[in-house]
Chains A and B, each alone.
Chain A
Amino acid sequence: MKKKNLVLIGNGMAGIRTIEGILNNDSDQYEITVFGTEPYPNYNRIQLSKVLQGDNSLKDITLNDWQWYEENNIRLYPGETVTKIDKNQQVLYTDKGKTKGYDKLIIATGSNPFVLPLPGVNKEGVIAFRNIDDTETIVKYSKQYKKAAVIGGGLLGLEAGRGLLNLGMEVDVVHIHDYIMERQLDRTAGKLLQQELEKQGMNFHLNKVTTEIIGRKRVKGLQFNDGSQIKADLVVMAVGIKPNVDLARETGIPVNRGILVNDYMETEVANIYAVGECAEHRGMVYGLVAPLYQQGEILAKRICGIETIGYKGSVLSTQLKVSGVDVFSAGKINEEENSKVSMLHDDLQGVYQKVIFEHGKMTGAVLFGDTKDGNKFLKYIKSSVSVEEYLQSIETKTNESYSVADLPPDELICGCNGVTKGVIVEAIQSQGLTTIDQVKSCTNASRSCGGCKQLVSELLQGTLGYSYDQNQKEAICNCTILSRDEVVNQIREKGLTHIREVMNVLGWKTDGCSKCKPALNYYLGMIDPLHYQDEKEARYVNERMHANIQKDGTFSVVPRMYGGITTAEDLRKIADVADKYQVGTIKVTGGQRIDLLGVKKQDLPKIWAELDMPSGAAYAKGLRTVKTCVGDSYCRFGTQDSIGMGIRLEKKFEGLNTPHKVKMAVSACPRNCAESGIKDVGIVGVEGAWEMYVGGNGGTHLRKAELLFKFKSGEELIEMIGAFLQYYRESANYLERTSAWVERLGIDHIREVLSIESKVKELNARIEEALSVVQDPWKQAISDTNLLKDLYEAVKIPAETR
């Protein structure tokens, strides 16, 4: 039998969910073709802000990779737009000149960002935030400009705002209403969220109507209707979306706000369906993923000829994490005159809960801070639970503390994908799942917004009992299912000694990758520093070559200058070397060192030999530099010898391998000229004492260091720095900076551990062991002919050689 042609226009979440449904129902009836304007496979648009925030890459938010299309015999035309549909001949045309006939056609063109028709909207620096290209543009701007304004204080605007903060920009959010996210939150919750975001550094301009975007060619700022203005170098428009219905309209398919569909997602034209944000069902156009996925499943059934009751519309619910804060709402958000309200508001714990009843039935709920009960409320609203039933349910709840174990099997856990507790538990048991990632790929739970991850984790805990580690980290990379802790424990338990052995014994699926090999190399060395043979082929280029590679393949050389102190003699040597090897650029680094840039690979060993200075380790996942201020020997404010302390620290800890780079600083007074507040370990001298700050970061994730301890003597300080660094070495994930690590463990926990004297001694004993085998890598390289040959020599053969 000849297969029928099914064509999908729009390679996004709703459309592809429909195709997944069709494949699940009956994969053989159709020849499937997909056209998508964006040149990417289907990705999770909800998590675009995470790409902006730097936590995820495109790879991480891809839902269906290229292989998926291939394996399911789906012909995908990425980067190709359908321009015309001939509904009588059942043929469509694309911008690349393709013609394609169809038996069934699904339109899932989604929506476009709504751009306010303001004067000046076409200026450079005004953009929307809707797809991957927008995200890339924003990242690019953030490197050149400082001040960003977001128009729109809804979900999209706030997510964009958070991302911009992470990119290091100043963020003003402009909103037309008197509180933010008014579509999903009531005033109280909106204000609570605003306070939280203000704490994170966002500025709000509420009740402001933007009337003009000012500037010449480029945007300079915004003009509001009350006469006030703000400055901005970048304006992100996030006022909303509008269904993308142009193609449907031109085809003659009836359209209102969206493409009109019935309960089976059928348009009024034969064999053409619409699904997702572009579709209008019973007067509603949905923009949240849960209803769109419900539509997709109904449509999949319809197309496969499976009986379905059809789509009856959705009770809107939102469960979100906005900048780390959980919010939830469902049904009615604001009470009316004759509504009854049950409210709980705890400022101390940052928790707010409001439940609305009308005519004795639950009709709405808003939660802020703690949203565990969200799905339960959604179910109550859908089934119109009465006041009495509700009161009874709280009573039983207060008797025994709430847990996911008490939920009935049909309770919805993942609202986005419609996955119930029963489905997840069944999958865990029948397929032997042990991690959140596995549950994600097996059941789709927590695959969209990720808001239910905690519940999934609790279900795993409940189902597997003690064998489940709740604080599991995700697998260290795709080569294994094992987490960092599992790998490290296995290396210790089984006494594994090299990378290949770890991969073989622990069942690696591949020969390793650029993520796991350097990580394993680090863990092995951390566990047994005295015996481990560092595997140079598992090191990133910079650490293998002991120099920083530049974009043209040349390298840079940074010699060690303890505490930022140099001598005329050293400077002369540097100058001579720079002349002799025609160094392209000489630059002073952010860490108070001198950088020789543009050095050819084969010149590196010669330069090191002539400099005769230790490596500055400017490339290392290890101690970089200890930056110092001039301190009490010269400065009139100085209270301590910061230079002396800096030199001592740098000499003691140089060459140490750590999970990620470690930057230190010592300042001699709270004016903090060495910028101790943004260092992994920052020391501030005060009258008669040293303050030790940790977990600071001046990079992508700007973070202020937190005070750990204060010491009277330098010896105590150095001992604690040793203990701190060793605790970091032993418990952080590879490539986790101290800022993220301190945040994950909590400063109080770290302080508690390091308050135990015996612990500090043990940690110091182990760090001394690791330091005892440190050698200067440059000296090592120039005295080892094999290393020189393997790493630094290139083969050169004249052209004419046969």
Chain B
Amino acid sequence: MGNTLRSVLIGKIDEWPEKLGKTVNIGKIQLAVFKLESGEIRAIENRCPHKGGVLAEGIVTGEYVFCPMHDWKINVLDGKVQEPDIGCVKTFPVEVKENQVYVLLDR
């Protein structure tokens, strides 16, 4: 598996806004990358499965983001939409090495 992923540098962890999301465009892929209250960085697809809302603009609490369009609640760890709504968004592994944040993408 390791061979099929490439890691992409997206920024410095201490420069990432706290408890907020940021839009990250890598080629044609658009990610919502969050720095959670715990300091952890998480990356998901920047597209709510409901109506395509931009999740990077949502309110972040704990491990959840609330879509700014219709308030769907999505777990940023596993991408699962929370009840009573259903669905999921793609998640992307993140690595932090020496203050640098990398997203791992399929080749």
Interface residues of A (CB under 8 A from B): 40-41, 58-59, 62, 65-67, 500, 510-514, 517-518, 536-541, 544-545, 549, 551-553, 601, 789-791, 793-802
Q: Say yes or no for B58: interface residue by CB 8 A criterion.
A: yes
CB closest residue in chain A, given B24 = A795
A544 to B57 Cα, complex, angstroms: 9
A795 to B101 Cα, complex, angstroms: 12
Q: Say yes or no for B96: interface residue by CB 8 A criterion.
A: no
Residues of A within 8 A of B20 (CB): 536-537, 790-791
Q: Say yes or no for B73: interface residue by CB 8 A criterion.
A: yes
Pairwise interchain contact B58-A790, C-beta atoms closer than 8 A: no
Question: B58 → chain A, closest Cβ, in Å?
Answer: 7
Pairwise interchain contact B23-A794, C-beta atoms closer than 8 A: yes
Pairwise interchain contact A794-B19, C-beta atoms closer than 8 A: no
Inter-chain pairs besides A790-B22, A801-B9, 16 sampled, C-beta below 8 Å: A41-B84, A59-B84, A62-B84, A500-B37, A510-B62, A511-B64, A537-B19, A541-B58, A545-B57, A790-B17, A791-B20, A793-B22, A795-B33, A801-B8, A802-B6, A802-B7
Interface residues of B (CB under 8 A from A): 6-11, 15, 17-20, 22-28, 33, 37, 51-54, 57-64, 66, 68-69, 71, 73, 83-84
Partner of A511, one of B10, B15, B37: B37
Question: A524 → chain B, closest Cβ, in Å?
Answer: 16
Partner of B57, one of A40, A65, A541, A796: A541
Given A58-B84, A794-B25, A797-B10, residue A510 in contact with residue B68 (CB < 8 A) = no
Residues of A within 8 A of B33 (CB): 795
Pairwise interchain contact A511-B61, C-beta atoms closer than 8 A: yes
**Residue of B22, B26, B57 most packed against chain A (CB within 10 A):** B57
Pairwise interchain contact B84-A65, C-beta atoms closer than 8 A: yes
Residues of B within 8 A of A795 (CB): 10-11, 22-25, 33
CB closest residue in chain A, given B15 = A789
Q: Can you list 26 pairs linking A and B with CB atoms under 8 Å apart? A: A41-B84, A62-B84, A65-B83, A65-B84, A510-B61, A513-B73, A514-B73, A517-B61, A536-B20, A537-B59, A540-B68, A549-B68, A551-B51, A553-B53, A789-B15, A794-B25, A795-B10, A795-B11, A795-B22, A796-B25, A797-B9, A797-B26, A797-B27, A799-B27, A800-B27, A802-B7
Residues of A within 8 A of B71 (CB): 514
CB closest residue in chain A, given B22 = A795
Question: B3 → chain A, closest Cβ, in Å?
Answer: 14
CB closest residue in chain A, given B86 = A66
A539 to B20 Cα, complex, angstroms: 11
Question: B80 → chain A, closest Cβ, in Å?
Answer: 12
A518 to B54 Cα, complex, angstroms: 19
Residues of A within 8 A of B7 (CB): 802
Partner of A540, one of B8, B53, B59, B60: B59
Q: Which 3 A-B pairs have the closest CB atoms?
A: A799-B27, A511-B62, A514-B66
A536 to B19 Cα, complex, angstroms: 9
Given A537-B20, A790-B17, A794-B22, residue A802 in contact with residue B84 (CB < 8 A) = no
Pairwise interchain contact B58-A802, C-beta atoms closer than 8 A: no
Residues of A within 8 A of B15 (CB): 789
CB closest residue in chain B, given A43 = B84
A791 to B58 Cα, complex, angstroms: 12
Pairwise interchain contact A801-B57, C-beta atoms closer than 8 A: no
A755 to B26 Cα, complex, angstroms: 62
Pairwise interchain contact B10-A537, C-beta atoms closer than 8 A: no
Question: B49 → chain A, closest Cβ, in Å?
Answer: 15
Residues of A within 8 A of B11 (CB): 795
CB closest residue in chain A, given B72 = A514
Question: A547 → chain B, closest Cβ, in Å?
Answer: 11
CB closest residue in chain B, given A794 = B23
Residues of B within 8 A of A62 (CB): 84
Residues of A within 8 A of B27 (CB): 797-800
Question: B48 → chain A, closest Cβ, in Å?
Answer: 10
Pairwise interchain contact A513-B61, C-beta atoms closer than 8 A: yes
Residues of B within 8 A of A538 (CB): 59
Residues of A within 8 A of B63 (CB): 511
Pairwise interchain contact B8-A537, C-beta atoms closer than 8 A: no
A689 to B29 Cα, complex, angstroms: 62
Question: B107 → chain A, closest Cβ, in Å?
Answer: 10
Pairwise interchain contact B62-A797, C-beta atoms closer than 8 A: no
Residues of B within 8 A of A66 (CB): 83-84
Pairwise interchain contact B68-A541, C-beta atoms closer than 8 A: yes
Partner of B8, one of A513, A790, A797: A797
Pairwise interchain contact A514-B59, C-beta atoms closer than 8 A: yes
Pairwise interchain contact A794-B8, C-beta atoms closer than 8 A: no
Residues of B within 8 A of A793 (CB): 22
CB closest residue in chain B, given A795 = B24
A500 to B61 Cα, complex, angstroms: 11
CB closest residue in chain B, given A510 = B62
Residues of B within 8 A of A65 (CB): 83-84
CB closest residue in chain B, given A513 = B61
Residues of B within 8 A of A797 (CB): 8-10, 24-27
A518 to B7 Cα, complex, angstroms: 36
**Residue of A511, A538, A551, A553 most packed against chain B (CB within 10 A):** A553
Partner of B17, one of A510, A791, A799: A791
A796 to B68 Cα, complex, angstroms: 22
Residues of A within 8 A of B64 (CB): 511, 513
Residues of A within 8 A of B8 (CB): 797, 801-802
Pairwise interchain contact B61-A67, C-beta atoms closer than 8 A: no
A539 to B58 Cα, complex, angstroms: 9
CB closest residue in chain A, given B63 = A511
Question: B105 → chain A, closest Cβ, in Å?
Answer: 10
Pairwise interchain contact B24-A794, C-beta atoms closer than 8 A: yes
Question: B88 → chain A, closest Cβ, in Å?
Answer: 15
Residues of B within 8 A of A551 (CB): 51-53, 69
Pairwise interchain contact B28-A553, C-beta atoms closer than 8 A: no
CB closest residue in chain B, given A66 = B83
Residues of A within 8 A of B24 (CB): 794-797
CB closest residue in chain B, given A59 = B84
A797 to B69 Cα, complex, angstroms: 26
Pairwise interchain contact B60-A537, C-beta atoms closer than 8 A: yes
A791 to B17 Cα, complex, angstroms: 8
Question: B55 → chain A, closest Cβ, in Å?
Answer: 10
Residues of A within 8 A of B59 (CB): 514, 517-518, 537-541
Pairwise interchain contact A801-B26, C-beta atoms closer than 8 A: yes
Question: B29 → chain A, closest Cβ, in Å?
Answer: 8
CB closest residue in chain B, given A516 = B61
A802 to B84 Cα, complex, angstroms: 39
Question: A712 → chain B, closest Cβ, in Å?
Answer: 47
Residues of B within 8 A of A513 (CB): 61, 64, 66, 73
Partner of B61, one of A514, A601, A790: A514
Residues of A within 8 A of B37 (CB): 500, 511
Question: B53 → chain A, closest Cβ, in Å?
Answer: 8
